[in-house]
Amino acid sequence: MLVLVKRLSTQQPKRPLIVLQKSLNKNVIVKLKNDIEYRGRMNNVDSYMNLILEDAEEFNGETHLANYGKVVIRGNNVLFIQIASEI
Amino acid sequence: MLVLVKRLSTQQPKRPLIVLQKSLNKNVIVKLKNDIEYRGRMNNVDSYMNLILEDAEEFNGETHLANYGKVVIRGNNVLFIQIASEI
Amino acid sequence: MLVLVKRLSTQQPKRPLIVLQKSLNKNVIVKLKNDIEYRGRMNNVDSYMNLILEDAEEFNGETHLANYGKVVIRGNNVLFIQIASEI
Amino acid sequence: MLVLVKRLSTQQPKRPLIVLQKSLNKNVIVKLKNDIEYRGRMNNVDSYMNLILEDAEEFNGETHLANYGKVVIRGNNVLFIQIASEI
Amino acid sequence: MLVLVKRLSTQQPKRPLIVLQKSLNKNVIVKLKNDIEYRGRMNNVDSYMNLILEDAEEFNGETHLANYGKVVIRGNNVLFIQIASEI
Amino acid sequence: MLVLVKRLSTQQPKRPLIVLQKSLNKNVIVKLKNDIEYRGRMNNVDSYMNLILEDAEEFNGETHLANYGKVVIRGNNVLFIQIASEI
Amino acid sequence: MLVLVKRLSTQQPKRPLIVLQKSLNKNVIVKLKNDIEYRGRMNNVDSYMNLILEDAEEFNGETHLANYGKVVIRGNNVLFIQIASEI
């Protein structure tokens, strides 16, 4: 019983990853640690924040740098992910 | 019995994360390692300090840089989180 | 039963790595954290994003730097991997 | 029996964290890797050195930078923690 | 049965390390994160990319810096390993 | 039997940490990655090289910077620890 | 049986650490990520490449900087270890 309670209670702190999972196919802005932004549709994401971005565009601030199509971004480079409805 | 005691005793050092959990929906200032601050309502946070910030505003010191709406910040970038009642 | 459900549900967040696995032998552009790009055929990749690149060419932006043949890139250096059909 | 012995012997090297636990509610100076110091009352700390600081003041050397009230500092940024009776 | 299937399927993504294992005693160029290259015969390598290099020569680009004989390189410094038949 | 043999054989490579444990209450010089040295009596140390230093003095080369009394240094910042009889 | 086979096959990639173990009490040159070298007798080493160096001398290139006697170097700082017979 205690174990079950613990399981339930430890699920709550995982929410940021669940929010990301519920935002699949939304437009996102992914800011990396090197300050470059990638804007596109978040096709998928895992618990490490590795993510697939489709129709990805690369920006340095407001300066458009490149179009990348489909890219897989390695999660450890992510600073933050801004989700679609807020863009 | 020993195992149970250990479980109880090892819960105490986890408190900083518990304090964060009890501060959901409070206003926070999140300072990142790159010295940029994000101010907003902490919608959720996990044990890695990944956190969801709503109505997020980006500051460099007192200079307002941008509004971001809802962002998911990757925990490994966090320097510290200042909780609402102290802001 | 619960355990089975959990297994199924935790497979979804792994997708970025599955997408990489399904892109074997496609041309990719691998951008590393030091901003250098390696273009070539992705012979294989593992869950750490260690990858084998064949006919690898090294670029700094559009400047061709070197040809490397077959290289094994250590995954922790990867910023992102752009997959073939989008190049 | 061997397992028990091992448990006992491996508890000794954990002492720095136990010393921190026994210093709760003492005044501390926390020096971070970025050379900034936070002085305040250590409300709690976990094994990762995540810590809660109350009445926190930020210093760059002897220059007072800001008052922060209650902050949760992420442990991986910590360089060292100086404990109260020695301040 | 499910477990067996999983084992088989998770072996494939490990291939970059298997390729390295099959290249023992070949000449390699190991480029480190600090941009220095070590050329020599790869006597052995482990899953962390720790590797033993024999008759190792140190280069900065095309500039020969030093001869090192047998060195053990710590894997986390490796940027990429270029395997012999492609040198 | 095999398991027992493995246990014995894997204990040997742990020796640097055992040497540290046997040096408790000796004077040490702890050099951190930021090139600053802390000299004092090593009250305790754990397997992560978190350590407690008493009567700690901070040096930049031969320049005395500060006295710190008792400090807990986070192990990941340690470059090396020089043990007393050699100081 | 399968498990046994796996065990045997996964022992091979560990060899760089075994080579280090077989080089105890040989003279080594340890180059750290900060480009400083430590030359001395490798008294012991563990799987993390934490190592004990006796009669340690510190060099910046060919410039002798200091004598350190016995030091425990934290493994994560190691770039490479050059073993005695090749010095």
In chain E, domain spans: 2-86
List the structure tokens of G30. 């340890």
Task: Sort out which chain D residues have CB atoms less than 8 A from F77's CB and list them.
Answer: 33, 79-80
Which pLDDT does position A84 carry in this prediction? Answer: 75
State the average pLDDT over residues E44-57.
Answer: 95
Q: How many residues does chain G have?
A: 87
Residue A85's pLDDT band (cuts 50, 70, 90): low
- Residue G19 and residue E52: Cβ atoms within 8 Å? yes
DSSP bridge partners of C32: C78
pLDDT at F85: 65
- Whether residue B36 contacts residue B60, with contact meaning beta carbons closer than 8 Å, is answered with yes
Element spanning E21, H or E: helix E15-21
Q: Are B36 and B58 in contact (CB under 8 A)?
A: yes
Between C9 and B67, residue with greater pLDDT: B67
Q: Which residues of G touch F80 (CB under 8 A)?
A: 38, 68, 71-74, 77
Instruction: Record the tokens describing residue A58, joined without a space.
Output: 């690369």
For tokens 């559009």, the residue is C62
Q: How far is C53 from chain E (nearest CA, A)?
A: 10
Q: From the CA of A79, how many Å to the nearest CA of chain C?
A: 12
Q: What is the pLDDT of residue F74?
A: 98
Across residues C28-32, what is the average pLDDT? 97
Residue F16 has pLDDT above 90, yes or no: yes
What Cα–Cα distance (Å) separates residue F14 from each residue in F36, G6, G13, G38? 27, 25, 19, 21
Cβ contact B23:B41 at 8 Å: no
CATH 2.30.30.100 fits C2-86, yes or no: yes
Low-confidence ranges of chain B (pLDDT < 70): 1-14, 85-87
Does residue A6 have a pLDDT over 50? no
Query: Mean pLDDT over residues A2-9, rounded?
Result: 39
Q: Does position C31 have pLDDT exceeding 60, yes or no?
A: yes
Q: Do G16 and E50 count as a contact with CB atoms less than 8 A apart?
A: yes
Write down the ipTM of this complex.
0.83
Nearest-CA distance from F72 to chain D in Å? 5
Which residue is listed with tokens 């010089």?
Answer: F29
Rounded to the nearest 10°, the torsion over CA E42, E46, E47, E49 is: -50
Q: What is the DSSP string of A7-72?
A: HHHHHGGGHHHHHHHTTTTSEEEEEETTS-EEEEEEEEE-TT--EEEEEEEEEETTEEEEEEEEEE
The C-alpha atoms of residue E53 and residue C43 are separated, in whole angstroms, by: 24
Interval C29-52 mean pLDDT: 96
Residue from F45, F48, F47 nearest F71 by CA: F45
Mean pLDDT of E71-81: 97
Site of tokens 């195992």: B3
With 70 as the cut, is the pLDDT of residue D19 above it?
Answer: yes
Mean pLDDT score, A14-20: 86
Which one of C51, C72, C77 has the shortest CB-CB distance to E20? C72
Residue in G13, C30, F54 with CA at minimum distance from that of residue D16: F54
Contacts of C72 in chain E (CB under 8 A): 16, 19-20, 80-81, 83
Contacting E with CB below 8 Å, chain C residues are: 17, 21, 32, 34, 38, 43-47, 50-52, 68-74, 76-77
pLDDT tens sequence across F54-63: 999 999 989 9
Handedness of CA D45, D49, D50, D53 (dihedral sign): positive
Q: How confident is the prediction for chain C on average, in pLDDT?
A: 84
Are C74 and E87 an interchain contact pair (Cβ–Cβ within 8 Å)?
no
Confidence bin at D85 (pLDDT 50/70/90): low
CATH architecture of the domain formed by D25-81: Roll (2.30)
CB-based contact F21 D15, cutoff 8 Å: no
Give the percent of chain E with pLDDT over 90. Answer: 75
User: What pLDDT does residue G85 have?
Assistant: 65
pLDDT band at A2 (very low <50, low <70, confident <90, very high): very low
The SS3 assignment for E17 reads helix
DSSP assigned state of G20: H
Unique residue bearing structure tokens 């810096």: E65
Q: Which residues pair with B73 in a beta bridge?
A: A80, B51
Residue E16 to residue C44, Cβ atoms within 8 A = yes
The H-or-E segment that residue F8 falls in is: helix F2-11
Q: DSSP alpha helices (H): ranges in C1-87? A: 2-11, 15-21
3-class SS of residue E51: strand
Chain G: residues touching F (Cβ < 8 Å): 17, 21, 32, 34, 38, 43-47, 50-52, 68-74, 76-77
User: DSSP assignment of chain B, as one string?
Assistant: -HHHHHHHHHHGGGHHHHHHHTTTTSEEEEEETTS-EEEEEEEEE-TT--EEEEEEEEEETTEEEEEEEEEEE-GGGEEEEEEGGG-
Predicted pLDDT of residue B85: 65
- Subunits with 3+ Cβ pairs within 8 Å of E are C, G
The pLDDT score that the predictor gives to residue G84 is 75
Q: Which two tokens stand for residue B41?
A: 């309502």
Asked whether at least 3 C-beta pairs link A and F within 8 Å, the reply is: no
pLDDT of residue F34: 95
pLDDT at E53 over 70: yes
Chain G contact probe: residue of F82, F83, F87 with most G CBs at under 10 A: F82
CA distances from G80 to E22, E74, E79, G63 (A): 23, 6, 14, 19
Q: How far is G86 from chain E (nearest CA, A)?
A: 5
Return the structure tokens found at E47: 């899953």
The per-residue pLDDT for range G1-50, each reduced to its tens digit, is 333 334 444 444 348 999 999 999 999 999 999 999 999 999 999 999 99
pLDDT score for E85 = 65
Q: Look at residue A86 and tell me whether its pLDDT is greater than 70.
A: no
CA separation for the pair E19, E28 (Å, rounded): 13
Find, among G29, D39, B75, D63, the residue nearest to E58 by Cα: G29
Statement: residue A47 has pLDDT above 60: yes
Is residue E2 pLDDT above 70, yes or no? Answer: no
Which burial class, exposed, middle or buried, applies to A5 when counting CB atoms under 10 A from its CB (0-12, 13-18, 19+)?
A: exposed
Contact assessment for residue B70 and residue A85, using Cβ atoms and an 8 Å cutoff:
yes
Beta strands C27-32 and C78-83: pairing type? Answer: antiparallel
Q: CB B80 to CB D69 under 8 A?
A: no
**Chain D residues in contact with B82 (beta carbon < 8 A):** 68-71
Please enumerate residues of A whose Cβ is less than 8 A from a Cβ of B: 12-17, 19-20, 33, 35, 49, 75-76, 78-83, 85-87
